[in-house]
Amino acid sequence: MCGEPIEISASGRTDAGVHALGQVANFHTESAMSVEEILEYCNRYLPEDIAVVEVSEAAPRFHSRLNATGKRYRYRIINSQIPDVFWRRYATEEPEELDLDAMRKAAELLLGEHDFKAFTSAKKSKKSTVRRIDEIRIERIENRVEFVFTGNGFLHHMIRILMGTLLEVGKGIRTPESVTDVLKSGDRAKAGALVPAKGLV
């Protein structure tokens, strides 16, 4: 496209089966192509399940990951005994009735800056596992329950393990207060299961 080798940097990565809305990426080029031409070229050749919605010129030192001020993820659950043929590709099915109030209480205990070592599948690393969660919003929309996580960054599989833990709270398997003990333990085995990827955006 640009007539030169380019390296694309993305603001984050998605696991297999996870969907993305609003992914930001950047690259450096000496090409004289306009942003309109780049947009048109990308959408002409990208597969049908990927679309570039905007192209703009950024400052020379801009980096989509390093300059990110926060990240937001949404996890969808079809909370109904009747299968949803429209949403099933983009949501996890959980037919058992969930106690959303209990889940909200547990979510409040996860807010703020904590060591989320217990909520990651990453192998031992020297990198910090401390992250800050600013908001966890839980709301029912028709037959779905949507969970919105906003924070300064998330560890590998962190959202999906948090969801597995919150689901156990919602089903009465554990108490809302138990998430504090999980946080303090730093033990992955004490957190909930890793939920399917397809519900995460």
Residue numbers annotated as active site: 15
Residue 24 phi, psi (nearest 5): -110, 135
Determine the 3-state secondary structure of 139 from DSSP: strand
Which tokens go with 142? 């028709």
Gap between the Cα atoms of 111 and 13, Å rounded: 23
Residues 41, 57: contact at Cβ < 8 Å?
no
Phi-psi region at 96: left, alpha or beta (left = phi > 0; alpha = psi -120 to 50): beta
Determine the 3-state secondary structure of 77 from DSSP: strand
Paired sense of beta strands 92-93 and 130-141, if any: unpaired
